[in-house]
Amino acid sequence: MTPPKKKPLPPPDMSDTTMARRLSIGANPLAAPIPASTPPTGQVRAAHTRPTGRRGTRPDAEGMTRQSYYINREAADALDDAVDAVLAVLGPDTPRHVALSAIIRAGADRATDVAATLAEDRATELERRIAELRK
């Protein structure tokens, strides 16, 4: 028995000149500028705003935000250990975000000290490299 034949898909709507340029085989989509009268196809974020970091469809709770940070493994492990230590003191009924927020806030409050330490480390490394070059 042969399977039923599917109806072919309709051709793409080429009424939008931007879409027509994108789908033209062999054409350079950057060759012609998009006319000023063409409305934007998506939401444009101002260059000075920060991304929200939100993922998924669930809205953030009042006063809360979802963020994603790219950090080294050592820092991530230290942060996890610190959160676990705080939760061990406060008990299992304490939400993880409470401990994490407090630890991040404590570190943010010491940003000047952190910057000074990083500057000292950088200066020491540069001095070492200069001494190495003078050999």
- Per domain, the residue ranges of the chain are 73-134
What pLDDT is attached to residue 15?
Answer: 63
Rounded to an integer, what distance in angstroms lies between the CA atom of residue 85 and that of residue 94?
12
CA angle at 80 for the pair 75 and 83, rounded to the nearest 5°: 125
For residue 129, is pLDDT > 70?
yes
pTM for this prediction: 0.52
CA-nearest of 79, 50, 81 to 67 is 50
Tell me the pLDDT of the chain averaged across its residues: 79
What pLDDT is attached to residue 118?
Answer: 94
For residue 37, is pLDDT > 70?
no
